[in-house]
Structure 1
Amino acid sequence: MILQDTIIALASPSGAGAIAVIRISGTDAITLCDPFFSSVKKNKQLAQQKSHTIHLGHIVDGKRVIDQVLVSIFKGPNSYTGENVVEISCHGSTYIQQEIIQLFLRNGCRMAEAGEFTLRAFINGKLDLSQAEAVADLISSDNEASHQIAMQQMRGGFSNEIQHLRDELLNFASLIELELDFAEEDVEFADRSQFEALVDRIQTVLKRLIDSFAVGNVIKNGIPVAIVGAPNVGKSTLLNALLNEERAIVSDIAGTTRDTIEDELVIQGIGFRFIDTAGIRETEDVVESIGIKKTFEKIGQAQVVIYLFDASHFEENSQLITVEIEKIKNQFPQKPLVIIANKIDKSNTEKIQTELSYEHLLLLSAKENIGVEDLKDKLLQFVNTGALRNNETIVTNSRHYDSLLKALEEIEKVQLGLNDGLSGDLLAIDIRQALYYFGEITGEVTTDDLLGNIFANFCIGK
């Protein structure tokens, strides 16, 4: 990949629309555009205009007018990429988009690769690596919570916290390295008590960030919720009630759902991915048996399990219901289990409440939409949104999580070395490794392969 030439790409979604935005970046971006831009005000030269200005005119190819456009100019280093940037807002015809792009490809531009604009922003110091990755998360965010986390990281909340720790640790590392130069004189430049306090503080912060990944990962990817129970107890009806649409087929025939059905719902800014599963029962139907096997696989993958039973037939099935609940609880003891008595509009609920003394028991009628909002509130209780409300840093990136774990491991080695009274040269080895893993997060330590893997997942034009 050449990072000194001029690149072009469609920055808005592909396809026809009201308008489209074509982005050009590079040292020669503005001068390349000049010959093909005819302003409403005659003889206006783009290169002579101020940065962050917009100009009305036409994109022309010789005497042929391609489209009337607005051209925005951003002069480096005060641009997204740190280079000269031109953004052409044209009409959204796919023909017009391609004509403009092809015109500039014939005259000095190269088609941008995936994520190349953001890669240039990183290389030119406009973003660190964690902020650059947050750009992709922001684009893909589909609910309030994931948007909030991505915005905080893109604005530097996470990288600032890591950078502050790294700077403090680097300062002590420098003093310890200095001690090595005066080893024969037996002097200490680094105050060991202050260093121990710093190591304790770094461990606390790292553990908090590592713990936050459990919340961040499910918020970013959606919280999977498996809806399980015997056939014909209303699992598909409940899914339809939650989504407020006829997503799953509903009938009185037991075993109608033979495969898992998934759909997403955002509840108060948090994404939940509901999985309607095949009914659990003994069956000789080969296809239905496969569906039941998949049900238990989905329970294993879910963060929360909803067990549904038919309240109108509770008396004759109470023993079987209890056995099934205990089986799920024993097989998946770490997963929150919500037990729902469905069809309460057709039953007496007093006996159910007396015999089932489970913590997360709800009475509900999916068909009549009774208690559905209570279920949504219950699901939100299983998500630790305190960090979101307090605007704390939440880790959502598995690469960051891995580097934090490795950094913590090295810091714990430093702590052990301090407790054992190890010499400065041995402490310095572990400190350097911890600094290395901090640098991996922000991009101060990087490789071409790492950058390639990260930016290959971006969309072209960003």
Structure 2
Amino acid sequence: MHQLHPIAALATAPGIGAIAVIRVSGEGAIALTDKAFRGKRLVGQPGHTAHFGTFRHADRGNEPGSVIDEVLVTVFRSPHSFTKEDVVEISCHGSEYIVRQILTRLTELGAQLARPGEFTQRAFLNGQFDLVQAEAVADVIAADSAASHRAALSQLRGGFSKRLKDLRQQLIDFVALVELELDFGEEDVEFAKRDQLRRLMTNIQGVIRPLIESFAAGNVIKNGVPTVIIGKPNAGKSTLLNALLNEEKAIVSDIPGTTRDVIEDELFIDGVRFRLIDTAGLRDTTDTIEAIGVARTRQQIEKAALVVYLFDGQSTTPEELREMIAELDESGKPYILVGNKADLITLHQQAAVTDAITKAGGRPDGIHEVPPILWISAKNAQIDELKSTLSAQVRTNGAMQTGSAVVTNARHLQHLTATDEALARAVAAVDAGTSADWIAMDLRIALRELGELTGEVTTDDLLESIFSRFCIGK
């Protein structure tokens, strides 16, 4: 590891605030900052220490430079810092003018303004963590729910990448033996025991495939659970949306077909972000604009991870419910049946609805068991049980559990899928008794894909693509 030229950037969010932190990292970062700092001599101070003083403009002749701000400077010495380089963090007042003046002074002294993600890139290049962990830094910063934070933090701490690196190293050892066989091709020798090689490859697949399968859940964790509220006009969908959000987001009217477009907002329940989508009522209509809204509703059902079917408990017939259950079953989407206006009908009437559906034949496939119906009053905001059900519906997915390794990054999915495909071909080649050169070809592909995933195999273009998406100062 070696230190690069010093770079500097604002590490806190831009804008006016009580405090701003400016980070300087690289060879000579401490001495460079010392030239503008008046307090203790920073060069002689140990790492992980903080020092109060003033940050100043350049001296003018015999006159000392004017004060830019009173600051608190924290010193970190290599390799015990985020970048593993010498690092100085300057805490100043959160004035945009002060921040500009301090950064200008640092560049006058020889620092370069950092590119987006350059601090994290240096940490990766200096071996602080692998590429998966480096990408998780951005995800931790962007996390806006407990679930997304938990997933990002798991990857930042190593998650699945450390285990994959260990398995990759074992595979490298086997590939070396297979390659050695190629050097003795005419002598028909076998250095790599095929049963051991096959066992290792299937072990790697046993780690990779659950990660590939976790991407759907991981994407939901990262971006929120797309939850579409559907039902006939005047079932109370907009009222329910307003009750869930605790605000008047959607227009509520007794006139059928008021909602003609998709309305979206976000709701956090037990640390999970739900992207709630209120839709136009499902019905046959001759109104051109309303028909477009109905078509969009069906498009939203296709995109949804969870569907809430809301029906009017007073007016919906068992046959209408049965038809909707059949349509939802056919869609393959997880769904919740919600009966509205529970404040206007008795418990006996609610039970009668379920009985009537069952007597009408249940599902068309002959199964008489119908999904449980959750009764609410959207108008009176009696929806606590619905919130609990939404949370429980998501948490039944194992990937949502604390500690589970989850893939949330499309780049990771791409490399994991390519690795699994290469290993599947290699396993098939071993089973068929194929020659070593064909096996070696697929093993090399698997090694390259795993290496690109964790950063053991990189290109400048790859690193630029990844770290350019980071914020400046990180």
TM-score by length of 1: 0.93
Q: Which residue of 1 aligns with 2:256?
A: 254
Contact 1:12 1:20 in 2 (8 A): yes
Residue type of the partner of 1:54? A
Aligned to 1:205: 207
Shift of 1:343: 0.6
Alignment of 1:30-429 (within 5 A): 30-39=30-39, 44-61=40-57, 62=59, 63-314=65-316, 317-330=317-330, 332=331, 334-347=332-345, 348-357=349-358, 358-389=370-401, 391-429=403-441
- The letter for the 2-side match of 1:343 is K
Root mean square deviation of aligned Cα: 1.9
Instruction: Give the Cα–Cα distance (whole angstroms) in 2 for the partners of residues 94 and 396 of structure 1.
Output: 35
More deviation in 130-139 or 273-282?
273-282
Offset at 1:382? 4.0
State the secondary structure of the residue aligned to 1:345: coil
1:230-251 residue CA offsets vs partner (Å, 9 max, x unmatched): 1211111111222233332223
- 2-side partners of 1:93 and 1:371: how far apart? 45
Alignment check: 8 A CA contact 1:144 1:269 kept: yes
The whole-number CA distance in structure 2 between the counterparts of 1:169 and 1:403 is 16
Q: Deviations over 1:380-406 (max 9, x none)?
A: 224444344361311111111111110
Amino acid of the structure 2 residue aligned with 1:51: G
Displacement of 1:27: 0.9
Give the CA deviation at 1:371.
4.5
Aligned identity (percent) is 49
3-state DSSP of counterpart to 1:313: coil
**Map of 1:451 onto structure 2:** 463
Distance 1:461 1:376 in 2: 40
Cα-to-partner distance string for 1:297-335 (whole Å, 9 max, x where unaligned): 211111111111111212xx44444434434443x2x21
User: Which residue identity is paired with 2:355?
Assistant: T
Amino acid paired to 1:428:
A
Q: Distance in 2 between matches of 1:427 and 1:282?
A: 59
Letter in 1 for 2:155: Q
Count matched residues. 452
Amino acid at match of 2:195: S
Letter in 1 for 2:336: V
Closer/same/farther in 2, CA of residues 390 and 21 from structure 1, 3 Å limit: closer
Counterpart of 2:98 in structure 1: which amino acid?
A: I
Residue 282 (structure 1) shift: 3.3
Q: Secondary structure of the residue that 1:400 maps to in structure 2?
A: helix
Q: Secondary structure at the match of 2:14?
A: coil
Report the secondary structure of 1:58's partner residue: strand
In 1, are the aligned partners of 2:342 and 2:377 still within 8 Å (CA)? Answer: yes
SS at match of 1:78: coil
Q: CA deviation at 1:218?
A: 0.8
Amino acid at match of 1:335: K
Partner Cα separation in structure 2 for residue 307 and residue 377 of structure 1:
13
Unaligned regions of 5+ residues in structure 1, if any? none
Question: Equivalents in 2 of 1:364, 1:173: separation in Å?
Answer: 61
- Segments of 5+ residues of structure 2 without an aligned counterpart are 60-64, 359-369
